[in-house]
Chains A and B, each alone.
Chain A
Amino acid sequence: MLSRMPSAHKSSTPFLVGLLLTMHGFFVVIFLVANAPLEKTMGIVQKIFYFHVPCAWLLMLSTFVCAGGSLAYLFRGSERGDRLAVCSAELGVLFGLCVMVTGPLWARAAWGVFWTWDVRLTSSLLLWLILIAYGLARRYGGAGGRRLAAAMALFAAADVPLVYLSVNVWRGLHPTTKVVSSLASGMRLPFFLSLAIFSALWGVLLTVRMRVERAQARLVELAIAVEDAEGKSS
């Protein structure tokens, strides 16, 4: 075990390039969003769309990546899958928080209320709650907590399509997914670039968080090895 190369020595160049590109991208996106045409009825309020939709997409992506990692952990015993699952779940909670803050801000201006029980709002909230519960299961679930959390992630992924189905049957107040395809041409570039940059940020954060997780696992491994060595010598 100890002969394995310490993970911190892995090449950081691709990561640093990604980090710099992401940081640079945010400046470009802010500029583009500021110069994008104003929406006719909502005006400046609509600009939150460039922030809200990418965050919602990342909440969804985090859920599925968490489920994918959990699948690998549960059925193949992959430790890496487990790390991927816990890290993406944490990012899902973070981006979900952004969705839950920006959504009501926009809703107050556009619909006059902070919150409605529209199915899409409700389903995002549910996803977010499941990811928070995932964290609770990992931290306080005891010996079976990790496997329980993995099962939760799989149930969450199975939940998503069904919740989405009910959205289409019960078309609510929320703008439907058709909004993106009907975007004015001047809004399209800032929107898709914002989506790409937010996804890149997600990737950068995931990489950093997974390194921490790996280093922690490595530290535990080393501590056990030291204890073993001390036990043998005494």
Chain B
Amino acid sequence: MARPSWAGQAGRIAWKDLHIEGRSREVLYTMGFMAALVVLVFSFAFISGQEVTVGPDVVAGILWVAVLFSGTVALSRTFDRERESEAIRSLLLSPVPRSAIYAGKLAATAAIMFLVELLLTPLLAALFSAVLWPHALWLGLLLLLGTIGFASVGVIFSAALLRARSRDALLGALLFPIVIPVLLAASRATAYLLDPAAPDLDPALFWTRFLAALDVVFVVVGLWTFEPVVMGD
């Protein structure tokens, strides 16, 4: 049987993860529930009485904070499954380039996160009467770019923390300082897109491009560092 290409191998690893997830739906449900809870927690904290109008800045912020917090749940599970019965060992022993493993894990995690975000955003829009439809596709692109930026760093950290005792506590603490530029760019761009009174969308375009540049840098560094990071001493 011919050996699949690099992209084919990455695709198969992503498919394996998505297949397992499709059976248990564990990450989808826990992450989705967590994301909805973060949005509700913010609603209870920010809104009082009959007042339901909050600015687009706040809505964009709540959306991205929910993505970040719930994304941490998805990331900690990405490699948790490989820990069971030491599956990580067989994965690393398989004749697949480590960068393909990284790309596959990244694709699977980003896909699951993106799916949750597609359900989360309309909920947010309904709760805060934000207008999504004029720039729905652009918003979708932003969500995708932001998710890739976040997950590209997160997959590396999640893999490195595989054997750490305080794994779950550390993941967020180490990940957030690095991905704050992603949060900044994504929430700024989203705020401009959600603002019906915005005079023009140039800033949104700038931040979208900035986010894309961040993604490229993070994915390149990720592909490059994954192998030495997961190799044992």
Question: Could you list which residues of chain A lie within 8 angstroms of chain B, going by C-beta atoms?
Answer: 74-75, 122, 126, 129-130, 132-133, 136-137, 140-145, 147-148, 150-152, 154-156, 158-159, 162-163, 165-166, 169
Contact = CB atoms under 8 A, between A and B. Distances in A.
A154 B163 contact: no
Interface stretch (B35-43, B53-61, B176-184): B176-184
A144 B232 CA distance: 8
B177 A151 contact: no
A151 B164 contact: no
B173 A136 contact: yes
A154 B221 contact: yes
B164 A155 contact: no
A172 B166 CA distance: 39
B225 interface: yes
Contacts of A142: 161, 163-167
B142 interface: no
Given A75-B228, A147-B228, A159 B178 contact: yes
A152 B173 CA distance: 12
Interface in B128-184: 153, 156-157, 159-167, 170, 173-174, 177-178, 180-181, 184
Contacts of B232: 143
8 contacts: A137-B170, A141-B170, A142-B163, A148-B156, A152-B174, A154-B221, A162-B213, A165-B210
Contact of A147 (B160, B170, B173, B206): B160
A166 B210 CA distance: 8
Contact of B177 (A133, A140, A165, A166): A133
Interface size class of B (residues with CB under 8 A): 35 or more
The winner among A136, A151, A152 for most chain B CB atoms within 10 A is A151
Contact of A158 (B162, B164, B166, B221): B221
Contacts, number: 97
Interface of B: 153, 156-157, 159-167, 170, 173-174, 177-178, 180-181, 184-185, 206, 210, 213-214, 217-218, 221, 225, 228-233
B178 A130 contact: yes
B228 A148 contact: no
Contacts of A122: 184
B186 to A, nearest CB: 13
Nearest to A148: B160
Contacts of A151: 156-157, 160, 221, 225, 229
The winner among A122, A145, A147 for most chain B CB atoms within 10 A is A147
Given A74-B229, A142-B164, A163-B181, A155 B221 contact: yes
Nearest to A129: B177
Contacts of B228: 74-75, 147, 150
Contacts of A140: 164-166, 170
A165 B181 CA distance: 12
A129 B161 CA distance: 19
A136 B170 contact: yes
Contact of B164 (A74, A141, A165): A141
B225 A126 contact: no
B214 A162 contact: yes
A144 B177 contact: no
B218 to A, nearest CB: 7
Given A151-B225, A159-B181, 16 more contacts: A126-B177, A133-B178, A136-B170, A136-B174, A140-B165, A141-B174, A142-B167, A144-B160, A145-B160, A147-B231, A148-B156, A150-B225, A154-B221, A158-B218, A158-B221, A166-B210
